[in-house]
Structure 1
């Protein structure tokens, strides 16, 4: 679907006064600097998927590193394993960024979604006053009524030979009746001190710029940059009994004991084997 800046008929941007539109001009003024990472920021009212759109631009050579594409509403948003992500218009932050870490070995690019998770979690903890945690590899967790719920997700996709597009979806003002599944949550339901999306987006993008800069300066080394330690400190998966559901209908059950140098989750199984998991669904079987 092509992004549409114009409003659809009978679709007023003020139809929900609790959810005002983002101020694209103010966001550009705050984030686009000559010496900064972010080079372009566009806010569209509707699109299918910001990731799909930005990957296409990157492959076509019409987007530079640091391009940010934000949608007020996505109609075909995707999570991992092509799961659908649905939310009412202006109820969250739905955006994608284009990175081109050409000088970093490709083997270390797998840290980019984890890096983004650290940036998102730390920024929202400060800007929204919400305790956040990360579920390996790409979910943002918040507490709602004593329950751990997913309030956000991250999806990284290759874009040509030298690009990576990272998509972020964060539920900000979703109300209980609007939740797509009972396990979902939002910053508002978690008692956020602020749900103003403009400063929240600024905080997340500044944190992402900071962590990406540290990671690049360290040659993509997760230890030297502090990324591996920080991710582990904020990862709610570590210390839990989990089940890893792997490709090919395989599964492994064990205690999540570490994040290794490749960003993989290391499980200690009952057989006494430590097995790294690089891809798959993780199910938390008991509290930490």
Structure 2
């Protein structure tokens, strides 16, 4: 709801008139007319009511905006909470990035099982980036299983993303296969697979929480920043359908079944394998199938 400039000026004038009349009436009743207190109270209440209505009209744009925001917030909150959304991070804002990283590390520290599907997994597995790797390493050392699915660096999807990034990367600079292979050699609890398709988002899942980051191809300064909205989800039992946590869990399971174990993928990509540390043969994974 909007109010015109002329309408605003008229209401503003009424505001002044109401103030003058109220002041005059109060002075008249108290100093010149011999009236009872009931009449004085009645006139005062009437003036207060008129003044309140006028002020309400003057605040029409702000009032409408406030009500619209509250209505939208209620709709978003009610719909999201019912399906397990417990937090939202705007990854274009530094404060939200830091909050999301801190929350993710807390989730890792409490994890009993971990699952990750991502283009590169750098935030979790890159020693150089060192964002979540110290927390992940500690949990792996405590024999917490970690299933990881990465996007095949030779896939069409990966190549498309590389051409959009600055200077047209031939290889994904974030995919640190050397770090990943060394981690696999050190921790049998880490089981890594490679997927050539279906990587529409990044998901990190534990026994009761999940983080969802959708992927896109929008370039920002010559690179795909992928700074969109991130959702934090918990297990829920909605009245209709399935929870968002369950949906992401099923997404991961489907992708896991369609992906290739890292040792098999390396065997079929000898040129890549030649530049990397050797993956221990006969390595037995505790992460299951």
TM-score by length of 1: 0.30
Structure number with greater CO (CA < 8 Å, separation at least 6) is 2
Structure that is richer in strand per residue:
1
Structure that is richer in helix per residue:
2
Structure possessing the higher radius of gyration over alpha carbons: 2
